[in-house]
Amino acid sequence: MDKPFGFSEAGPSVGSMSALDWLSACKTRYPLTRFISFWHDFGTVKAALVDMSSPGSLLNDSAFLTTAGTTAPPVTPTATITATVKRWLAWWKITLTWQTTNATGAVLNGKSVVFNGSQTRTVSRGTYTYTLIATRGEYAASAAVTVTAK
């Protein structure tokens, strides 16, 4: 290959320029560059190797030497929760410990909590269920623990 290989990253529009305008500007400014690796359609993360001798339109064009369409896996949250019970005088102490990953929100039994934490609750005899829900956009993960104080 007698021309340099150029790399760049761009989406369907670059600032006020369309992707095709951007490729044309690259061709004009860097005439010795033969190929550009180009990302487009961020919704499905499609990549293409564009032959700069004929950038054409970005979709369904012979200017693409290869097109690898992949869907980026979603970043989903996880949630875990554990509990320990100890007798304390006539009461019981339940210590809850939880962790989340990739979360943007965390709720324990309907109340917002930090992403990773613990708290101790003093309770009377009975069975208690604690549910942790970690959220990130449209995704959620939940974990629950049931404790019996007797």
The domain that holds 131 is classified in CATH as 2.60.40
Q: Last residue of a domain, which of 36, 52, 69?
A: 69
Nearest to 77 by CA among 98, 102, 99, 105: 102
Number of domains the chain contains: 2
Query: Scanning the structure block, which residue is given the tokens 């930090």?
Result: 114
**Same domain flag for 57 and 86:** no
**Same domain flag for 106 and 61:** no
pTM exceeds 0.75, yes or no? no
**How confident is the model at residue 53, as a pLDDT?**
56
Cα–Cα distances in Å, from 101 out to 70, 108, 130?
A: 24, 15, 18
Range of the structural domain that residue 116 is part of: 78-149
**Same domain flag for 140 and 85:** yes
Q: Tens digit of pLDDT for each residue in 88-127?
A: 889 999 999 999 999 999 999 999 999 999 999 999 999 9
- What gap in Å lies between CA 66 and CA 49, rounded to an integer? 6
